[in-house]
Structures are given as C-alpha cells and as structure tokens.
Amino acid sequence: MRFLWMVFALSCAALVAGLPFKKRASVCNGHAELCSRSYANVTFIGAHDSFAFSDNSLAVSRDQRLNISEQLDLGVRLLQAQSHVEDDELHFCHTSCKLFDGGPVLHYLKTVKTFLDTHPNEVLTLLFTNPEGQPVDAVWKPLFDQAGLTTMAFVPDHVPLKYSEWPTLGQMINTGKRLVVFLDSGANTTAVDFILPEFQMVWETPFSVTNSSFPCSIDRIQGPLPSEDHLYMINHSLNKNYFPIGPGIIVSDPVDANITNSVLSIMENVRGCAPLANKRNPNFILLDFVGDGEAIEAMEVLNGFQSLDPPAANSPVNANSGVRLDMEGGRFGGLEMFLLLIVPVVVEMFYV
C-alpha cells in the first residue's frame, strides 16, 4: 500500500512538473511597488488625439509630435482617439478625416498589440470616442479580434465597477488581462463585455480649455455611481481660440506645450481638482504634445516615486520670473505664427 502511495505521489509530481509555469510579475508599469497597487490608485499619463501626430509645425490639426510607438516608449499609458467612418472603414480622425486622417483603427490597434507583446509587464488603457455611434458588436469588436487584442482585454465581473473594486496591476498582468478599453458612447457590455462605458466609471474635467489656470469641475459623468466612486481624468491640454466669434475656432497650443506639460502646471491642476475627488490623485492626465515638458516626471511624482522639487532656474517656467523660454527645436518666426493663426480659419471655412 505504501508503495502505491509513493507511485501516486511521484506521478503527481511528474504531472505538475510538466505543466507550464507562469512567473508572477515582479515589476508592473516600471515599478515593483505598483504590482500591489490598485489600477484605481495609479496615475497614468495619456496622449490626447494620440493618432494625430506630425513633426510638421504647420500641420495645425495635429495634437502630438510623437507617433504611437514613441508615445508608448516615452511612458504614455493611456491612448485617446476619436473615430469616424471614412471610405466604409473605421478610422481615427481629428474632428473630420479631411482635417487629419490618422488611418484605419485596425492599423492603430495592431501597433498597440505589438507594444503589449513586447512589454509583458505593462497595463495599458485605451479611451476611444464614438461620435457616430458605431455598434460595438458589429464594428468595434471585429477590429479588436483581428488585431489579436480581445483576449488581452480586461473584463470586470460587473459594470459599473466602483473605484474600490478595481484589481491591482499585478493581478491584471498575471491573468493576462492588462488592456482596459473605454468608449465614451455606445458601449454595450451585454454585447461586448470588454468595451466599457467610460462615463459610468470615469468622470472628466472640461476639455478644449483656453484658460491656462485650468479651473476644475466635473464636466461629464453618468450614474448610477456617485462621483466619489468614479475614477477621474484631467484634460490638461491648453488651446487657443483663433476666431473668438460664436463657438470660435479652437486649436491646440504647441507653442506653450512645454509650460502646460510642466510638473508645476500639472500639479497645480491636480491640486485644483483634489477637493472634487476626496483628495485623490487623478487616474489619467490627458495631454497634447505629450513629449514636450515634464509629463512623465509629473506622473512619477503623483505615483510617489519622485519628490516635488521647486522649479529650477532653467525649467520651462521659472517660478520667480514667469518667463516662457524658447521651445526646444527653435522659435516660431513671424511667417510660422501667421500661418498657425490663419490656416485653421481657412480649413474650417471649407470643411466644416
């Protein structure tokens, strides 16, 4: 009998030894400490209109200089994009595909898949807008399927998920469900369980802000959860109104991006929003021209990995002088500034 038990034990040991062993994540999004921290208790830097990138200073509809891969390599962990149908295919476009066409959504998602495959210890969030109300089951899900992302997407056991109910980054990485997908409108978790309704779980501050002090308020939110049970996102992108009549013509401001994206400016915005969020740090900070300034440094401060030092004399904004320094890469000359002012007006006249 004892012999039979020994045979059984050895057989079980051999069986277990033959099973694939998945190593648990020891570093999550760049820090070991984040593995035990809830997704809801981490601040992520986001790229607004992440697809709308160009290094051409006259491309007035761009909102980024870095491409998607460069944004991700920088440390961006939320990608935002606006969808429109163009030539019977879903594209990411800025207001209109005639203004800026970022290409098919499928190509974009394949870039995301490549990043996730080569960075197995990273949690990434996608936040897409759906202004034309494209159905999630017939249009959106097939694109995620084709890109190979569906199996990586996080699926909560119920929706909406409270702030206190999110898993840790380590849990998300260890289970392979490390892609969070939000849609601003049209989400239907009965039809597609991983495309989550943004405003039921995330509130936002106002967007298209033209006031550099970034006054904070809860701008968009849906029930049934109260605001304190939501995650929240700060829209920290500064715009210029180049035609202040009626709704005006609002264009992102590349000239002052290094100031807007400084630690000083971001932290002031965070302080202004804290009373609306039980003094919690934001979950997402959405930026234009995310490679300019100190976005990643601000994220490190908010996540507790860097101290908040006084602004240095050579920082984009000197606290004593308040003087803006020249942009990296050179000044805007008179011709460039004239074109930056007039081109948006002409484009809007013809295409809107």
Catalytic option among 48, 84, 230, 236: 48
Secondary structure string (H, E, C) spanning the chain:
CHHHHHHHHHHHHHHHHHCCCCCCCCCECCEHHHHHCEHHHCCEEEECCCCCECCCCCCCCCCECCCHHHHHHHCCCEEEEEEEEECCEEEEEECEEEEEEEEEHHHHHHHHHHHHHHCCCCCEEEEEECCCCCCHHHHHHHHHHHHCCHHHECCCCCCCCCHHHCCEHHHHHHHCCCEEEEECCCCCCCCCCCEEEHHHHEEECCCCECCCCCCCCCCECCCCCCHHHCEEEEECCEEEECCCCCCCCEEECCCCHHHHCCHHHHHHHHHHHHHHHCCCCCCEEEECCCCCCCHHHHHHHHCCCCCCCCCCCCCCECCCCCCECCCCCCCCCHHHHHHHHHHHHHHHHHHC
The residues facing 104 across adjacent strands are 91
Catalytic status, residue 236: no
Between the alpha carbon of residue 60 and those of residues 53, 240, 339, the distances in Å are: 10, 12, 9
Catalytic status, residue 107: no
Catalytic option among 84, 94, 230, 236: 94
Which residues are the active-site residues?
Answer: 48, 94
